[in-house]
Structure 1
Amino acid sequence: MNKTKEIFINGFALFSMFFGAGNLILPPFLGKNAGDLWFWVTLGFFVTAVFIPILGILAHAKLQGTMYDFGKKVSPTFSLVYCFVVYAISIALPAPRTASVTHEMAIAPYFNTSSLLTSTVCFSLVYIFVMNRSKLLNLIGKFLTPLIILILLTIIFVGVFTTPETIQTSTFTSPLISGLLEGYQTFDAIGAVVVGGVLVISMNFKKDTSFNEKKELITKAGFIAGFGLLIIYAGLIYNGANFSSIFPENANRTQVLTSLSTQTLGSIGTIFLSVLVALACFTTAVGIITGTADYFKGINNNSQKVFTATVIIGCLLGIIVGQFDVHYIINIALPALMFIYPITIVLIILNVLPEKYSSALVFKVVVVVTFIFSIPDFLGFITKPESLSTIKNTIPLADQNLGWVLPAIFSFLIANIISKLKKPA
């Protein structure tokens, strides 16, 4: 019983860690556009927002190290650069987005103040909390997440059993791919490698806990967190589709979530949800800034000056970027995600696989090939699409921004064959 309780506590902690701004605002909007094809969109979203992130936790269970260990088989230099890029993206995009969501959902509907003021107040508080490592965060984490889950499950339950209007026709031509790519925006795969390592280290294991016992605990906790995410995501996507004809035609992501909570719980529910969203976003920002500062402190001889400087830079970026609206931040995040997400996905999968299928050669070949074939996807968001038409027409799935997938699979097979041939008989 004690062990079961520990598994559920850690599973709940993992769920809390993943659950941030994107997890709330993306699924209902996706459902709104998915309409009658909501199931296929949910399936695609599940792959990149649940399945891959939980594989990341399973990889941490296997490695029981830090984020650096994910890429060290490619090379130590690559792993350092990869960690730097991921942490830089984390403090420049998902962290500021928390302030943007807070403003649009919790401040703007009730107060006529600027988004710059909101982001300044948010990240001033983030700075205070990170620098003081306040115990209040633990209290917020304990009571906040259950309340958010309770309210979201209530919204989902009421929505499912409310007689809907006619579900609209989907606006997606490739619903599975649309759901898969929107899952990038949750940053959950990146979150798995960023915060998963911190969780592994910070878990309060008993001194006599063996490696295999830790592995079992982390693995089962990962499945619990994944199941929770799946229920919330599927419910919000379905309700987004269910009420698709009621939402304003040009409603953005935050407006759709707010409208959904109003349709199901009324104005009081919307107010309560707004407050909880603000707090959830705040703790997410604190977690990202703390994790990033800890990393740079660690690679600089545990320098407190480096820690403080990283926190200041992260908070300044939060204030500057966080004043923009959510839709704008999501758009500027896309090129970065198209660049780093494929590499993160292949690193997660390779680290989960048995050693006999994931030699250093396999890591090197697959990561290099994935990097090369993800370049057109990255360039597609910063240049005119016509300039890449020849490349896009040549590479399978490139039109769906998944041109790296088949080359990565093919290179994995070839590298494994070469590895087997190299082994002495």
Structure 2
Amino acid sequence: MNKTKEIFVTGFALFSMFFGAGNLILPPFLGKNAGEDWYWVSIGFFITAVFIPILGILAHARLQGTLYDFGKKVSPVFSTVYCIIIYAISISLPAPRTASVTHEMAIAPYFRTSSLLTSIIYFLLVFIFAINRTKVLNLLGKILTPFIILILLAIIFIGVFTAPNVISPTTFSTPFVSGLLEGYQTFDAIGAIVVGGILVISMNFKKDTSFEIKKELITKAGFIAGCGLLIIYAGLILNGARFNTTFKTDATRTEVLSILSTQTLGNIGTVFLSVLVSLACFTTAVGIVTGTSDYVKGLFNNSQKVYFITAFLGCLIGVVVGQFDVGYIINIALPVLMFIYPITIALIILNVLPEKYASKNVFKVVVLATFIFSIPDFLQFFVDEKKLSEIQNIIPFSKHNLGWVLPAVLSFILGLLIKNHSFSEKEN
């Protein structure tokens, strides 16, 4: 395979890894609520759902290690705990959400069965595929992704020329921040540091490929994947905004995507999209359960028994959480994401920076500051708002759930100053 072809193949593979079908329900709904301010929402969404994840891939291009390597400069204990938390979140929220999306898009509109039944059958199949590894899923992924992309591009293209001329005003008080925080729900930053590691491992099998060649390949593939995500997300947000007068006020995320596809492609197009999205959801769920089980297995001397137990527990969690509607799962994910996403963003940015700007001390100071100042964003879901208001009034941007940003930047500058001061003293 020549170099250019390999870059594009890897880029499309990365794109399909990011392209969790559950993510498709977020942009149109965001556009619906953004209305005339859809472009501000888009910019915010692009930062956390495209830009930061691609930086995560670029960080992997520099490190060429595993998920563990992202946090090891803080401390080995921190990195181990962080890895466990990431996999625990993945198996408890985005994996069950795929079952919920499947029920709402492909089952509920056509059958009068309960979401619990869907969740049980869905994760029984996930478990069977997870303990019987097969190339069928990889093959399905390669076939499904191009079909879904074609349908989405058709929805976007037709929507641009057939949308009503009237767009309702935004329902967001701060559209940019709303887009930024909705990007958390894609889990793409978390996905970047997980799938990037998988990509590096797969490349390490090619013994004749040098570090620099792999770095170039991963970097360029990351940009290709980012461009793909940017086009799809932008088109869906735009059409969600342009068609927002045709949706019910209380329409859910899955309803907005289904209605948008019906208005552009008709009923047959909607059925086709529902089936493809469901299959893509399934491959995502199997990938998460398999990846998590592999990680836990590695912690226990590659015990196959541990792999089996982890896969079983993961699917059991999937059944319990997956029976709830998508909106509910998104709501319960919010506190968790407010806590882990800022730390993930900080680690991604620090790992992208050149070594001279990201020493171990800088890592420790920045991650500690990010952790401390993201606590109010996490606690707001459990503590009375009045009790937190005094703290939030002191911390800049805290009322927008971004109280960690300025402390992280200042701690980074402080870490650099301390490092430079120590270096100067050694020279003298």
Question: Does the TM-score normalized on the shorter chain lie above 0.5?
Answer: yes
How far the C-alpha of 1:206 sits from its partner, in A, is 3.1
Secondary structure, aligned partner of 1:316 = helix
Q: Say if 1:21 and 1:97, in contact at 8 Å, map to a contact too.
A: no
TM-score (norm 2): 0.98
Name the amino acid aligned to 1:146: P
Q: Which residue of the partner structure matches residue 43 of structure 1?
A: 43
1:232 lines up with 2:210 in the alignment: no
Task: Write out per-residue CA displacement over residues 360-380 of structure 1, whole angstroms, 9 at most, x where no aligned residue.
Answer: 000000000000000000001
Q: Deviations over 1:160-185 (max 9, x none)?
A: 11142401101111111000000000
Give the Cα–Cα distance (whole angstroms) in 1 for the partners of residues 267 and 204 of structure 2: 41
Letter in 2 for 1:381: F
Matches within 5 A, 1:372-387: 372-387=372-387
2:209 alignment partner AA: T
Distance 1:383 1:259 in 2: 37
**How far apart are 1:144 and its partner, in Å?**
0.4
> Structure 1: how far apart are the matches of 2:243 and 2:193?
35
Question: TM-score, normalized by length of structure 1?
Answer: 0.99
Instruction: Report the residue type matching 2:298 in the other structure.
Output: G
Partner of 2:252: 252
Q: How does 1:237-316 map to 2 (within 5 A)?
A: 237-316=237-316
Map of 1:94-105 to 2, 5 A cutoff?
94-105=94-105
What is residue 140 of structure 2 aligned with on the other side?
Answer: 140
CA distance in 1, matches of 2:257, 2:382: 29
Please tell me whether residue 111 in structure 1 is matched to residue 106 in structure 2. no
Residue aligning to 2:369? 369
C-alpha contact (below 8 Å) 2:203/2:214 kept by paired residues: no
Q: Deviations over 1:28-55 (max 9, x none)?
A: 0000000000000000000000000000
Show the 5 A alignment for 1:63-82: 63-82=63-82
Name the CA distance, whole Å, in 2 between partners of 1:208 and 1:385: 58
AA aligned to 2:388 is: L
Q: Which deviates more from structure 2 when the two are superposed, residues 157-166 or residues 93-102?
A: 157-166
Secondary structure of the corresponding residue to residue 254 of structure 1: helix
Alpha-carbon shift at residue 203 of structure 1 (Å)? 3.3
| Residue 121 of structure 1: how far off its partner (Å) | 1.1
User: After superposition, where does 1:338-353 map in structure 2 within 5 Å?
Assistant: 338-353=338-353
CA contact (8 A) 1:25 1:253 kept: yes
Query: Match of 1:11?
Result: 11
Q: 8 Å contact 2:99–2:323 — kept in the other structure?
A: yes
- Residue range with higher mean Cα deviation, 211-220 or 162-171: 162-171
Which shows bigger deviation, 377-386 or 88-97?
377-386
Gaps of 5+ in 2: none
Cα distance in 1, alignment partners of residues 113 and 146 from structure 2: 30
1:315-339 CA-to-partner distances (Å, cap 9, x unmatched) read: 0000110000000000000000000
| Greater Cα shift, 291-300 or 396-405 | 291-300
Structure 2 distance, partners of 1:384, 1:246, is 37
Amino acid at match of 1:254: T
Structure 1 residue ranges without an equivalent (≥5): none
Cα shift readout 1:293-331 (whole Å, capped 9, x = no counterpart): 111111221111111111111100001100000000000
Separation of aligned partners in 1, 2:165 and 2:197: 45
Measure, in 2, the Cα distance between the counterparts of 1:390 and 1:81. 31
The separation in 1 between residues aligned to 2:384 and 2:259, in whole angstroms, is 35
- Counterpart contact for 1:165–1:246, Cα < 8 Å: no
Whether contact under 8 Å (2:293, 2:311) holds in the other structure is yes
Kept after mapping to 1: 8 A contact 2:49/2:188: yes
- Aligned with 1:245: secondary structure? helix
Residue type of the alignment partner of 1:351: N
The CA RMSD measured in Å over matched residues stands at 1.0
Q: Distance in 2 between matches of 1:409 and 1:301?
A: 40
> 2:166 and 2:206 mapped to 1: Cα distance?
55
Matches within 5 A, 1:168-207: 168-203=168-203, 206-207=206-207
1:209 aligned counterpart, secondary structure: coil
1:134 Cα deviation from its structure 2 partner: 1.1
Structure 1 residue 204, shift from structure 2 partner: 6.9
Structure 2 counterpart of 1:297, one-letter code: K
Q: Which residue matches 1:332?
A: 332
Aligned 8 A contact 2:163 2:239 in 1: no
Mapped to 2, the partners of 1:43 and 1:170 lie a distance apart of 15
Instruction: Report the AA paired with residue 162 of structure 1.
Output: T
- Per the alignment, residue 126 of structure 2 pairs with 126
2:156 corresponds in structure 1 to 156
* Deviation of 1:205 (Å): 5.4
Quote the Cα distance in structure 1 between the aligned partners of 2:205 and 2:165. Answer: 51
Is the 1:22–1:185 Cα contact (8 Å) retained in structure 2? no
Which SS does the other structure have where 2:290 is aligned? helix
Mapped to 2, the partners of 1:146 and 1:51 lie a distance apart of: 22
Cα distance in 2 for partners of 1:306, 1:222 equals 33
1:420 Cα offset (Å): 1.3
Task: Check whether the contact 1:195–1:291 (CA below 8 A) recurs between aligned residues.
Answer: no
- For this pair of structures, how many residues does the alignment match? 425
Amino acid at match of 1:109: P
Distance in 1, Cα, partners of 2:383 & 2:22: 26
Separation in 2, partners of 1:256, 1:380: 29
Q: Which one-letter code corresponds to 1:106 in the other structure?
A: A
Say which SS state the counterpart of residue 208 (structure 2) adopts. Answer: coil
Name the structure 1 match of 2:322.
322
Counterpart amino acid of residue 77 in structure 1: V
Q: 2: distance between equivalents of 1:348 and 1:204?
A: 22
CA drift at 1:2:
1.5
- Is the contact made by 1:335 and 1:378 (CA closer than 8 Å) also made in structure 2? yes
Matched-pair contact (CA < 8 Å) for 1:297–1:307: yes
Q: Is the 2:163–2:243 Cα contact (8 Å) retained in structure 1? A: no
In 2, distance between residues paired with 1:160 and 1:297?
Answer: 48
Q: Does structure 2 retain, via aligned residues, the 8 Å contact 1:61–1:215?
A: yes
